[in-house]
Chains A and B, each alone.
Chain A
């Protein structure tokens, strides 16, 4: 009986191992065990905070760096469902003995303790969103507050005479989302600039009235697409004089545009966004949306790999004293849309490549 059980357990373990293996191969291009390679490559992982075309572009940067820099083997993981999935992915990576991890924390403060555990066992860096209180070695990202202010600037250009502005976002638990939102609000209300790290965040359920601009609402959708769209629809219903819709996550502006189109108000309600969804880029080209702030996501992927490789090679000079690498952002409007879109297409092709 015991023998039989051992066999069954063995078989189950085998199935599990094969299952895990095939899942990995779907997400990585690394292939091959380290042992098969005479010169061992550093095995590192790039972990996102969810599934989104944005992350495909980051993955493209990871692949680009992997090919160009050499000496590293990268896994890319997209946690499908929030915090719990991200945690279990990180735990699995540690169990596998991964040498370095770049992660975009979903809840910086809440995850700090866990991230410190991760940092104790491997080289940990953050990208896209930071966990400033954790022991991560460096943060690769955009100053999201500055980027938010740049987005506010776009809104000012889109509706120079002022008006009502509504903000749409996936969730506000994420630091970067809060910083972006605050940047937009501060810029539109002409408040003085705040320093990243000491930002005072305004409440969610409040109307902010400035001299020219009024921020009437901020709605979250928890990454549920039908909620994202119906939030936009409801805002159009509620605010007759809505002048501009601001989408803070990549999928928000396209949902706003869908709603505006169905309401027959294309061009009448301006759209400004974040990131570089094709539907938004097309709308900018067609004149239906004003502009977007792109963080050029591929730079996140590229810089993360470059940084981890440097650290693992023992080259400490790659880490700046500020422990912050700003990949910057790009304002995209009708003026530079063609050039920007061409670059994005190139990176999309690279990110989609599975080898």
Chain B
């Protein structure tokens, strides 16, 4: 575990402790299950965007992809499509969306910000148009319901929500890919110095495209999870701004927007911090209007502290090296 992840874990424990101290119900099974559920949902988006951020890019279309997938799922069920088949088709669609982003960025050489900003607008518009902008409920599709939003009871009110299992599988695969495979190391190298990586023979374009495909795919998975969690889809609003929470989680979790840095575990804890804050604000009884201000402030504080720690560590290291030289 690197130093950054330790820092964010500390922040998590601190807020956890404060909230618990102010309200003993905080740690009960029902609330913990909810916290785990929402944190998992946010972390899945965060891991997706982390891959893109590691390459030095950005994906602003996550929320709209979530909205599109959720809306199409409801629409397809309404039209009598086979739900399971639709799930696969929608996951395929999100892969294609990522592929298009990647190709536009690497082959046409458009900036990621522009490509995904247009994506944000385009997918949102398409969802609204296809659904006639109507709120849609999720009818009972028993199997999928418990698959995406079910729970495995542990003891008392403690249980493991479906999104957690999704997160575990995704996180293990992502961490393995990033840390234990050559492509993962290439990805980090590419983020640090793209030209350098290319000159050493790394196929940077392919890696970048892969990052965008992973990101959109995970957005698609989140779309299904969110839709089943809420049992309702609003084409204009479902998923709106979620990309910002995802990016916040990735950055707070140790990804640098300059690229080349990232840790999956850090992103998961950071997503948990963001959700924990919301939970904490409600439980401590802070005015509902202050929510965004507090979340923004804590993220800013976290990132600033992280930057300062890095600088101090770097300074010490230089001092040690200099001392060793002389």
Which residues of A approach B to under 8 Å, CB–CB?
Answer: 26, 51-53, 56, 78, 80-81, 204-205, 217-220, 223-227, 229-231, 233-238, 240, 251, 254-255, 258, 262-264, 278-279, 354
Contact = CB atoms under 8 A, between A and B. Distances in A.
A225 B236 contact: no
B230 A229 contact: yes
Top-10 shortest CB links A-B: A234-B282, A80-B236, A237-B31, A205-B287, A233-B34, A220-B288, A225-B230, A219-B288, A237-B25, A238-B283
Given A51-B135, A51-B236, A236 B30 contact: yes
Interface stretch (B84-92, B125-133, B203-211, B309-317): B125-133
Contacts of A227: 278
A226 B279 CA distance: 12
B234 interface: yes
B226 A226 contact: yes
A237 B30 contact: yes
Interface in B127-156: 128-129, 132-135, 137, 151
Nearest to B159: A262
Given A56-B135, A234-B34, 16 more contacts: A51-B134, A80-B236, A81-B240, A205-B285, A220-B288, A220-B289, A226-B38, A229-B229, A231-B282, A234-B283, A237-B26, A237-B34, A258-B231, A263-B30, A264-B157, A278-B137
Given A218-B288, A263-B30, A238 B38 contact: no
B237 A224 contact: yes
B278 A230 contact: yes
B237 A80 contact: yes
Contacts of A224: 237, 240
Given A78-B133, A230-B279, A225 B31 contact: no
Given A81-B236, A219-B288, A225-B230, A26 B135 contact: no
A125 to B, nearest CB: 24
B106 interface: no
Contacts of A204: 287-289
14 contacts: A26-B129, A51-B235, A51-B236, A56-B134, A81-B236, A224-B240, A226-B38, A234-B282, A237-B25, A237-B30, A237-B283, A254-B232, A264-B157, A279-B137
Contact of B34 (A218, A230, A264): A230
Most chain B beta carbons < 10 A, residue from A51, A233, A234: A234
B75 to A, nearest CB: 14
A204 B129 CA distance: 37
A255 B151 CA distance: 18
Nearest to A53: B135
**Interface bracket on B:** 35 or more
A128 B287 CA distance: 27
Interface in B268-288: 278-279, 282-283, 285-288
B111 interface: no
B23 interface: yes
A305 B111 CA distance: 49
A52 B157 CA distance: 33
B28 interface: yes
B25 to A, nearest CB: 5
Contacts of B40: none
Contact of B133 (A80, A230, A233, A279): A80
B55 interface: no
Nearest to B241: A224
B157 A263 contact: yes
Nearest to A23: B129
Interface string B26-46: 101011001000100100000
Contacts of A262: 30, 34, 151
B27 to A, nearest CB: 10
B162 interface: no
A80 B133 CA distance: 8
A286 B283 CA distance: 30
A61 to B, nearest CB: 17
Interface in B231-265: 231-232, 234-238, 240
Contacts of B287: 204-205
Contacts of A235: 282
A205 B25 CA distance: 20
